[in-house]
């Protein structure tokens, strides 16, 4: 490499192309930095390395950009509110409602099948209160958590922590419901102090309503009294000069008991400590339990309180937080068997709530840490629970992993450049520009004699000799050398995409999109037979994890159906075995379907859950239409069935393929099985084709307005192409049959050629 000797502590060391400050200064002080050509060669080497790095990172950035555009789901919360719902390192908490005949048999609100037509919720689904709910009511919040109920007759009040996205501290928000928690009216901020507030425990005492929020940042525990319920409160008393968190007060055996955790500890004690105090009044004075601290070790044991205690079957029950894996990972329930000033005993009992299998696509897939359950006058139990789809500290963790991935990319690019010869060493050839001015002799002598300078020169030399050895061992013109380059390139691309995913791609959750502040669910329906079982297994495993899917219905047309145990599903699966192999079975009236929306989706189509969720939101905006992902334009004389490219060339479509489309289960199926459609169904049976074309005609015939709506998927794969079981393998024959159907159906139900919807008409840009 044109090595030059450098004196180090009286000895001669070969620099291996590494030049420390001393060599650079020596050249400059003589005014002959380029006299022997070394300055020119250094400049060329640096230029080639610069060009290599520039080209490498431009290419990698292009790959990462394409990866982001195609494969990463958009950040849903940025769409919800411009003020609130920002990504927060504490999480993205929201609140759900549950019902049951006991506190040990609670089911989410969607299983109660509560419909709300005005909010397009058929049925209402959890979460019912989110950061968007609060932000839309003019108090911008990053998340809502720590819910507590207060019941007044048929009215439910919900108090909760709302993390202010401007001040970044917790305030206490309040909402009201007159329909048992299906919908909530946001009333605003109930309590706002100069310090963080959370855990708004609300209770009655002597005709007054009190709130005891957690405010440990102030260093004490405070009790507030409602002046004008529920939005005006005044400080009644500082009941304890101790920074207790997540505290509650209960009455038991003639005394009042205060449970709380001292959060001033570190490590396991921070969420693994529980103290009990007792008094003759909620206003104090309070005496400590003889065994305090009751717990003081393991934060996974449920020591930190997780909501309001409740009385059931004569026993007190306490909810505690399991913070073992992450803060607020799950709830644990304990039955209190002994509570006296000298004794405390509790045993764990089953909570009775099933965790979602949808992972981060579920609103509470990662964490749930507070429960308030109360019995209504009707005898029914209602509960509110918070949940989060990401663990605590997820933002920091993703940033660290992303930076580590990018650092790995940089190192691999250097190694790649060394192997190609574009980079001459692991450290630059020179550490100062060639045109630097003359340095003083004293500075030059110091650099030569400095121990640090000597060691760095030696280290630099060894590194560059190692890079030379690497190039000598890996010969690029051999097969093994080419394979090494290929592996390095692939690993570099994977690391780059991984880093971008961690830094830019968000939590990885493909969330549902609310409409009017409400979430809902739909039924996924597919039609298949025994030769496509492998498709079905992959289909069920993927789509059952989508946030809004409630149930999967499999219309089994031919052969022996699989056992349900063969399908890996996060939601219930129902296999409907048909007597006759007919495409008309796809739209058969099914009274067991519990949702208004049905997504008819062929078992050989794979697309991201985010695309499915976007389509569901668009359909909820237009439930009278067929909303889908594959547009077609039937035009010409005679009418011809053409592909999506033709529709785009003519900037319009008048059909949506129902092999991937949302529709109203009642309206669509009743239209299809009406007497009017009998002749069309006969054509479908004869040709074994065109069932989706028929439904488009039936919709168009029943309405004078637009009946179809297109949503563009980020990507979609036809998996049947890999198996040889595709129904329409011969495209020309398939399109010919469909053109024939168009002509027959036009004679029966009137033409749809003039019913054209345009692309690019949606403000959200989802129909480009």
| Residues classed as catalytic | 692
Q: Residue 695 in 3-state DSSP?
A: helix
DSSP output for 592-616? T--SSEEEEE-TTEE--HHHHHHHH
> What one-character-per-residue DSSP string does 503-565 give?
HHSTTS------BTTBB--EEEEEEE-GGGHHHHHHHHHHHTTSTTEEEEEEEE-SSPPPPGG
With contact defined as beta carbons under 8 Å apart, do 51 and 45 qualify? no
Tokens of 483: 């394979």
The structure tokens 């495409």 sit at 583
Rounded Cα distance, 151 and 156, in Å = 5
Tokens encoding 440 = 């003083």
The CA distance from 438 to 447, in Å, is: 14
Other CB atoms within 10 A of residue 676 CB: 14
Residue recorded with tokens 């079975």: 585
Helix, coil or strand: residue 669: helix
Q: Torsion-angle region of residue 760: left (phi > 0), alpha (psi -120 to 50) or beta? A: left
In degrees rounded to 5, what are phi and psi of residue 257? -120, 135
Helix (H, G, I), strand (E, B) or coil at 658: coil
471's CB contacts (< 8 A; 6+ apart) are: 418, 419, 421
List phi, psi (to 5°) of 699.
-65, -45
Contact criterion met (CB below 8 Å) for 134 and 162: yes
Beta strands in 192-329 (DSSP E): 198-205, 208-214, 221-228, 232-240, 244-252, 255-262, 273-279, 287-288, 295-296, 310-312, 315-322
Cα–Cα distance measured from residue 121 to residue 248, given in angstroms and rounded to the nearest whole number:
35
DSSP 75: -
């Amino acid at each position: 490499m044109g090595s030059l000797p450098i004196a180090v502590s009286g000895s001669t060391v070969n620099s291996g192309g590494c030049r420390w400050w001393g060599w650079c200064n020596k050249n400059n002080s003589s005014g002959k930095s380029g006299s022997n050509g070394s300055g020119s060669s250094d400049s060329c080497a640096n230029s080639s390395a610069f060009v290599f790095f520039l080209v490498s990172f431009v290419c990698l950035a292009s790959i990462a950009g394409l990866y982001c555009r195609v494969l990463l789901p958009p950040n849903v919360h940025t769409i919800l509110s411009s003020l609130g719902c920002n990504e927060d390192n504490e999480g993205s908490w929201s609140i759900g409602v549950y019902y049951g005949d006991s506190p040990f048999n609670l089911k989410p609100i969607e299983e109660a099948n509560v419909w709300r037509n005005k909010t397009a919720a058929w049925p209402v689904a959890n979460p019912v209160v989110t950061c968007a709910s609060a932000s839309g009511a003019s108090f911008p919040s990053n998340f809502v958590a720590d819910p507590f109920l207060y019941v007044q007759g048929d009215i439910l009040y919900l108090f909760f922590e709302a993390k202010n996205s401007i001040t970044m501290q917790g305030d206490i928000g309040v909402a009201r419901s007159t329909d048992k928690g299906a919908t909530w009216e946001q009333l605003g901020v109930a309590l706002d102090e100069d310090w963080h507030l959370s855990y708004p425990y609300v209770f009655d005492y002597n005709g007054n309503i009190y709130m005891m929020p957690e405010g440990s940042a102030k260093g004490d525990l405070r009790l507030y009294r409602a002046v004008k319920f529920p939005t005006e409160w005044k400080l009644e008393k500082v009941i304890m000069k101790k920074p207790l968190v997540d505290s509650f007060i209960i009455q038991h055996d003639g005394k009042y008991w205060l449970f709380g955790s001292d959060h001033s500890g570190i490590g396991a004690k921070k969420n693994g400590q529980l103290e009990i105090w007792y008094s003759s009044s909620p206003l104090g004075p309070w005496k400590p339990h003889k065994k305090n601290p009751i717990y003081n070790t393991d934060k996974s044991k449920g020591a930190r309180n997780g909501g309001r205690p409740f009385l059931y079957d004569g026993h007190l029950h306490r909810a505690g937080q399991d913070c073992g894996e992450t803060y607020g990972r799950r709830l644990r329930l304990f039955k209190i068997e002994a509570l006296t000033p000298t004794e405390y005993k509790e045993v764990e009992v089953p909570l009775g709530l099933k965790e979602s299998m949808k992972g981060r696509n579920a609103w509470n897939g990662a964490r749930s840490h507070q429960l308030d359950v109360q019995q209504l006058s009707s005898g029914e139990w209602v509960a509110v629970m918070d949940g989060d789809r990401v663990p605590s500290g997820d933002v920091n963790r993703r940033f660290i992993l992303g930076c580590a991935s990018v650092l790995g990319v940089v190192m691999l690019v250097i190694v790649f450049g060394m192997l190609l010869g574009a980079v001459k060493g692991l450290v630059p050839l020179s550490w100062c520009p060639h045109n630097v001015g003359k340095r003083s002799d004293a500075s030059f002598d110091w650099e030569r004699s400095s121990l640090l300078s000597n060691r760095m020169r030696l280290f630099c030399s060894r590194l560059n000799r190692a890079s030379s050895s690497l190039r000598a061992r890996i010969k690029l013109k051999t097969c093994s050398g080419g394979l090494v380059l290929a592996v390095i390139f692939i690993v570099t691309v994977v690391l780059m995409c991984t880093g971008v995913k961690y830094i830019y791609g968000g939590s990885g959750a493909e969330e549902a999109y609310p409409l009017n502040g409400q979430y809902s669910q739909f039924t996924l329906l597919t039609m298949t037979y025994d030769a496509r079982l492998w498709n079905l297994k992959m289909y069920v495993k993927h789509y059952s994890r989508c946030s809004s899917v409630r149930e999967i219905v499999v219309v089994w047309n031919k052969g022996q159906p699989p056992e349900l145990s063969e399908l890996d599903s996060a939601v219930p699966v129902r296999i409907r075995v048909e007597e006759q192999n007919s495409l008309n079975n796809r739209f058969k009236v099914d009274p067991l379907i519990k949702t208004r929306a049905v997504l008819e989706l062929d078992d050989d189509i794979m697309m991201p859950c985010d695309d499915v969720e976007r389509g569901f939101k668009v359909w909820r905006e237009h439930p009278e239409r067929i909303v889908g992902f594959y547009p077609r334009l039937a035009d010409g004389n005679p009418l011809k069935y053409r592909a999506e490219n033709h529709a785009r060339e003519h900037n319009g479509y008048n059909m949506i393929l129902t092999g991937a489309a949302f529709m109203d289960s009642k309206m669509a199926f009743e239209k299809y099985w009406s007497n009017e459609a009998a002749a069309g169904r006969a054509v479908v049976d004869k040709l074994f084709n065109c069932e989706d074309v028929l439904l488009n005609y039936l919709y168009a015939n029943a309405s004078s307005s637009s009946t179809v709506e297109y949503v563009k998927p980020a990507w979609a794969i036809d998996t049947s192409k890999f198996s040889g079981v595709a129904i329409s393998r011969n495209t020309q024959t398939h399109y010919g049959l469909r053109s024939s159907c168009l002509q027959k159906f036009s004679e029966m139900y009137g033409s749809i050629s003039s019913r054209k919807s345009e692309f690019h008409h949606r403000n959200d840009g989802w129909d480009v």
